[in-house]
Amino acid sequence: MADTKRTRAQILTLLADNITQEIKAQQFRDWFVSDWPEDRVYPDDFWTRPKAPFLITDKTAKGDFFYSQIIGQQVSFGNVMFMATDGTWRRALAGDSAKLGLLAVVLNSYASGATNGLLVRDALIYNADMSGLYAIGKPIYLASDLSGGITSIRTSANPILLGFMMPTNPGDIASGKFYFNPPWDVRG
């Protein structure tokens, strides 16, 4: 029998509580193929980071997510955020030590005070709007002139490296895929 991808509800129904000890091997395989990320093709992929060719939906990311976060000001998808001392997330700004610290990228647009914020760290982020704006393989820095923004130009005012633009396939010159992995500490 072929392995079948199923919804979460279907998997929960199949696996229930197994009081009768009747979970079949096929049901387990169906769970496995439903839950296993498609970008884990090779045996060692379990230990690797997300790969650009498998991130195909614009305005999405794969990485370490922060769910149900409090947003301290109006933001848009892709803004670089810092966690303020009151626990809210606000747009980061290089050169302003009060607007630095733990950095993450917001994955939606939110009004100030939203309590359902979704942010990501150590991630591969796909934003088609960035395609062609930044060269593949070049570093991306936190902007010092645009709150929550990024730049490819490093200056003494914005020495905070956020990550790199990644190719989708070998030979790509533009992809809109950004590997975001800033340092955990504040320097300077």
In a shared domain, residues 69 and 22: no
Range of 22's domain? 8-36
Q: What domain count does the chain have?
A: 2
In a shared domain, residues 82 and 19: no
Structural element, H or E, at residue 65: strand 60-69
Per-residue pLDDT of the chain (188 residues; tens, 9 = 90+): 677 777 777 777 766 666 666 677 777 777 666 666 555 555 444 445 666 666 778 888 888 889 999 999 999 999 999 999 899 999 998 877 767 778 999 999 999 999 999 999 888 898 888 877 888 888 999 988 899 999 988 888 778 899 998 877 766 666 788 889 887 655 54
Residue at token pair 């199949």: 14
Contacts of 165 by beta carbon, 8 Å cutoff, 6+ apart: 130, 134, 135, 136, 137, 138, 140, 175, 177, 178, 179
Q: Quick one: tokens of 61? A: 């990311």
In a shared domain, residues 29 and 75: no
Whether 103 is in a domain gets the answer yes
Whether 2 is in a domain gets the answer no
In a shared domain, residues 25 and 66: no
In a shared domain, residues 13 and 86: no
In a shared domain, residues 75 and 164: yes
Q: Are 52 and 69 in contact (CB under 8 A)?
A: no
Q: pTM, whole model, 2 decimals?
A: 0.71
CA distance to 14, 30, 53, 173, 187, per residue, from 135 (Å): 48, 41, 17, 7, 26
What are phi and psi for residue 60, nearest 5 degrees?
A: -135, 175
Contacts of 101 by beta carbon, 8 Å cutoff, 6+ apart: 82, 83, 84, 186
Q: Are 37 and 81 in contact (CB under 8 A)?
A: no
Taking the CA atoms of the chain, what radius of gyration do you get in angstroms? Answer: 20
Q: Are 153 and 141 in contact (CB under 8 A)?
A: yes
Q: Within 10 Å of residue 81's Cβ, how many Cβ atoms?
A: 27
User: From CA 167, how far away is CA 48, in angstroms rounded?
Assistant: 17
Whether 43 is in a domain gets the answer no
For residue 61, what are the β-bridge partners?
A: 125
Q: How confident is the model at residue 54, as a pLDDT? A: 66
